[in-house]
Each structure stands twice: as structure tokens, then as C-alpha cells.
């Protein structure tokens, strides 16, 4: 017998009345830990998600109140967002200084602004996401700024909980976790020298801990290491992922120390263009120290028993999409490097050694007095597109510009010099692979 609709409504109302809804503000809500926390808490609490770019997050989580702000500066906007909040979860963080990302501002100033705003709004507690080991052996600017942010919070006199996760792994990936999957796709695996042991922790376990501590009646004024139960080397983790993805063990070879150093310096250079490669000098220092701790206090306080990486992988078999991601991961930077180099090179060739060839083609097509200016304009346009692709802030705009100019070249070439379609080297035919690579670049541009 089907229950009467009014009876169902009454049951739902009773359940809703027994549930404790809290207003929780999540800072850095578009990141790995932040977005997972939003997903976990959105149906049981009123959430305010704060990040610099909230466009995608607003579409993914329409039940959340989203606000875009620079947390290191927007003290007034932050106070307004925290009005009436009962808990604040700070997931803001960055690996290294870069254009638009200053570690002192991101780690220290943000915490200071949170403290000021919480005093204004009387928020009950602050859940602060730090990093394992920063209290024992800060080795890089990343860990020293994280350590100072902890000290500021501890001295605030507010209600706080500090969580120090190790390398966080889960179904969504970003940074080091994405790199591990990318390396797992290589049949021959390069091994970085001087890497310390890792007690990787599962994203679900970290989020469950955050959910536990936002409750008013839980402990506070404590700092906990969130680490997995087992120590692994970096290469062991990569091999576990390779097994999970369904591939046989990869042959390992140790990279020369000088080449490893060069790789980290190259990552630093790419970072200055606004990209976020996981292999940079701060990562070099942090991975040499390792990421280990003792999960005993974590389990004692919360009753959460952290899962090992093999256990977590066994619970969620790999899909074909995850194999695609692993195979594409290391190709992704090559796509943007090749595209930037292609457009810059063609631009330089057009206004340099290839200028006369271009001039002759334009004369043949009937441009006459406009031939020279047209060749120079085309060369400069190509050059600007290439530079635009190289800088992360302008990559998307430059890729669309590349698509537009490619189609323009195809149409103009077809009208002025249709014979180029049957040239042995196919100058017009080659436009279409370039167009397709630009489309692929647009699809894989976002990394979170």
C-alpha cells in the first residue's frame, strides 16, 4: 500500500527539523579540498563559497551562494560574507610565488583577514587547512608561510582547528596527484633523486574530518596531522596507480641530479608565465623532506580511520576516462608549448627570412601595394598570438584568435591563391590540423 502524500511530507518535515543547518563559509572553495568540501556539505548546511574564479563552481553547485574575491585584500567583502556564519573553512593555498600569487599574502594575510572578519561576525570556529610537517621542519617558502599562518591563528584567541594533510589523493586530481597519474602512463618511469617518504591521505577522509569539526560540540584548539597509515616512496605510489589503471609495471630509471635540477628550474620559468606546474623549486624542497606523520591523534579525536592508497584504489576501479587523463597529462603542456612555438616561429619567419616569399605570394594574389604591409601585419599577428598562448592569463583569448586567423588564412588563400591547395607541401591543407590542435587546447585548458 502506497503511503499517503501528506504522510511523506510530514516525515520529510520531521527529518528536516531534526537536521542542524549551519551557515558555513568555505574559502578557496574552487580548489581540490574546497570543492570536495562544498560537495559534501551543500545538502546539509547553508554554504557560502569564496574563490577568485567562481564561474564554473556556480554552475556545478547552484545551491551554494558564490562570491568572487581576492581574499588577501577584500577585508570588507569578507566581513560581509562572514556575517552570521557559524564556521569558516580555510582551504586557500598555493605552492609557489607566481604572477598574481604571493605566498605571504595567500597564506598569512588571508588568515589575518579571516581573524579580523571572524571577530566582527562572531563566527564560532575556524577550520584551517595547513600542510603536514610545517610545524616540524619548514624547508621552503611554502612551508614557512604556512607555519606563520598557523602561529597567527593560534594567537588569535578565537576557536580554531588546524588540519595538516599530507599529499591528498582522490578521484579528482590536481598538482602532485595529477602528476602521479601522468607518470603512471609512461612505460618507462623517470625517478627524481632525493625524494622522501609519503603517507598520502585520501580526499574523502580529509573532507570527512572537516565535516566533523564544523560541528559546534567537537574539540577545538588542536592541530592534527592527516596522513595515511602506510609510508610509500613516490615511485611506489606511481606504480600503484599504474596497476590501478590496468598497465604492467613500468621500468624505472634514476634521473641524473643535474637533469632533475633543470626540470625544477624549467617549472619555475613556466610558473612565471602564470601556469601552475607541479614540478617547481618549492616542490623539490618539499618532496625531499617527504610528507609523513602520525595519524593516531586524528583517529582518537574523530574516530576516522584513514584508508591506505591500495584500499582506496580498490574501492573505485579505474575508468577509460581516467586512462585518457593519465595518457593526456604529460601531453598537455607539450600542446601549449608547441602551439606557442609554432605561432611565434611563423611570425618571426614572416617578418624575417620568409618576408620575400610572402611578398611574392601576395603580389601573385593581386595585393600589389598592400603586399608588404599585409605580410608584416600577418607576421606580427602570428607573433602576438604565440606570446598570448604562452602567458596563461591570455591563453584562452589567444587560442580563439588563432582559430579566427587560421580560418581567415584558409578563406583568403582559397580566394587569392587557390593553387596552394594542391601544392606538394599543402600549405592550406595543414591549416586544419592546426585548427584541431587549437580546439584540443581549448578543451584541456582548465586544470581544475
Residues 231-263 have pLDDT tens digits of: 999 999 999 999 999 999 999 999 999 999 999
Band (pLDDT 50/70/90 cuts) for residue 138 is confident
For helices 355-364 and 371-390, what crossing angle results, to 10°? Answer: 130
Angle between helices 203-213 and 32-41 in degrees, nearest 10: 60
pLDDT of residue 123: 63
As a whole number of angstroms, the distance between CA 220 and CA 127 comes to 9
Is 230 a residue whose pLDDT tops 80?
A: yes
Percent of the chain whose predicted confidence (pLDDT) is above 70? 95
Contacts of 110 (CB under 8 A, 6+ apart): 27, 71, 72, 90, 92, 149
Q: What is the mean pLDDT of the chain?
A: 90
Q: Is the pLDDT of residue 343 over 60?
A: yes
- Percent of the chain whose pLDDT exceeds 90: 70
- The reported pLDDT for the residue numbered 10 is 42
Return the minimum-mean-pLDDT range out of 146-150, 159-163, 286-290: 286-290
The answer, yes or no, to whether residue 435 has pLDDT greater than 50, is yes
Per-residue confidence band for 70, with pLDDT thresholds at 50, 70 and 90: confident
Binned at pLDDT 50, 70 and 90, residue 17 comes out as very low
Place of cell 641530479: 257
Place of cell 558564490: 66
Q: What is the pLDDT of residue 422?
A: 84
Mean pLDDT of the region 211-225: 92
Amino acid 380: pLDDT:
96
Instruction: Give the pLDDT of residue 122.
Output: 60
Question: Which of 73-87, 183-197, 388-402 is the least confident region?
Answer: 73-87
- Position 302 scores a pLDDT of 96
| 3-state DSSP assignment of residue 330 | coil
What one-character-per-residue DSSP string does 69-109 give? --TTT-HHHHHHHTTT-SEEEE----SS-BTTB-HIIIIII
Per mean pLDDT, which range of 114-118, 157-161, 240-244 is the poorest?
A: 114-118
- In contact, 148 and 155? CB cutoff 8 Å: no
What integer pLDDT is reported at residue 18 of this predicted model?
A: 42
Greater confidence (422 vs 163) lies with 163
DSSP classification of residue 392: G
* pLDDT for position 326: 95
pTM: 0.88
Contacts 24+ apart (CB under 8 A), 112-116: 112/152, 113/71, 113/72, 113/74, 113/75, 113/78, 114/27, 114/71, 114/78, 114/88, 114/90, 115/152, 115/153, 115/156, 115/158, 116/75, 116/79
pLDDT recorded at residue 26 = 96
Amino acid at each position: 500500500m502506497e503511503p499517503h502524500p501528506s504522510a511523506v511530507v510530514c516525515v520529510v518535515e520531521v527529518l528536516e527539523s531534526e537536521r542542524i543547518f549551519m551557515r558555513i563559509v568555505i574559502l578557496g572553495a574552487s580548489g581540490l579540498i574546497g570543492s570536495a568540501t562544498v560537495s559534501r556539505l551543500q545538502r546539509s548546511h547553508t554554504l557560502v563559497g569564496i574563490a577568485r574564479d567562481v564561474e564554473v563552481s556556480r554552475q556545478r553547485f547552484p545551491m551554494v551562494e558564490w562570491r568572487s574575491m581576492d581574499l588577501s585584500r577584500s577585508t570588507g567583502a569578507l566581513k560581509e560574507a562572514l556575517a552570521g556564519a557559524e564556521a569558516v573553512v580555510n582551504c586557500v593555498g598555493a605552492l609557489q610565488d607566481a604572477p598574481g600569487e604571493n605566498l605571504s599574502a595567500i597564506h598569512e594575510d588571508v588568515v589575518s583577514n579571516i581573524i579580523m572578519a571572524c571577530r566582527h561576525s562572531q563566527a564560532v570556529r575556524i577550520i584551517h587547512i595547513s600542510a603536514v610537517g610545517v610545524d616540524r621542519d619548514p624547508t621552503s617558502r611554502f612551508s614557512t608561510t604556512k607555519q606563520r599562518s598557523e602561529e597567527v591563528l593560534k594567537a588569535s584567541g578565537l576557536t580554531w582547528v588546524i588540519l595538516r594533510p599530507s599529499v591528498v589523493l582522490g578521484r579528482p586530481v590536481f598538482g602532485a596527484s595529477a602528476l602521479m597519474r601522468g607518470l603512471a602512463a609512461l612505460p618507462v618511469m623517470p625517478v627524481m633523486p632525493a625524494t622522501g617518504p609519503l603517507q598520502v591521505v585520501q580526499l574523502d577522509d580529509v573532507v570527512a574530518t572537516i565535516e566533523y569539526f564544523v560541528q559546534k560540540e567537537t574539540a577545538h584548539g588542536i592541530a592534527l596531522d592527516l596522513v595515511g597509515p602506510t609510508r610509500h616512496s613516490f615511485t611506489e605510489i606511481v606504480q600503484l596507480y599504474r596497476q590501478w589503471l590496468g598497465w604492467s609495471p613500468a621500468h624505472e630509471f634514476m634521473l641524473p641530479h643535474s637533469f632533475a635540477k633543470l626540470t625544477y628550474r624549467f617549472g619555475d620559468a613556466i610558473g612565471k608565465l602564470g601556469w601552475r606546474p607541479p614540478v617547481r623549486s618549492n616542490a623539490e624542497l618539499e618532496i625531499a623532506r617527504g610528507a609523513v606523520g602520525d595519524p593516531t591523534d586524528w583517529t582518537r579525536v574523530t574516530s576516522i580511520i584513514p584508508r591506505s592508497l591500495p584500499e582506496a584504489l580498490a574501492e573505485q576501479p579505474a575508468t577509460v576516462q581516467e586512462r585518457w587523463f593519465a595518457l593526456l597529462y604529460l601531453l598537455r603542456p607539450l600542446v601549449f608549448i608547441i602551439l606557442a612555438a609554432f605561432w611565434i616561429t611563423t611570425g618571426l619567419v614572416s617578418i624575417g627570412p620568409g618576408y620575400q616569399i610572402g611578398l611574392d605570394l601576395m603580389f601573385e594574389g593581386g595585393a600589389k601595394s598592400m603586399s608588404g604591409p599585409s605580410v608584416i601585419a600577418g607576421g606580427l599577428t602570428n607573433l602576438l598570438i604565440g606570446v598570448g598562448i604562452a602567458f596563461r592569463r591570455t591563453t584562452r583569448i589567444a587560442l580563439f584568435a588563432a582559430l579566427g586567423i587560421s580560418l581567415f588564412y584558409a578563406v583568403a588563400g582559397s580566394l587569392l591563391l587557390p593553387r596552394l591547395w594542391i601544392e606538394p607541401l599543402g600549405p592550406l591543407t595543414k591549416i586544419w590540423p592546426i585548427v584541431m590542435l587549437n580546439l584540443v587546447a581549448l578543451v584541456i585548458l582548465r586544470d581544475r
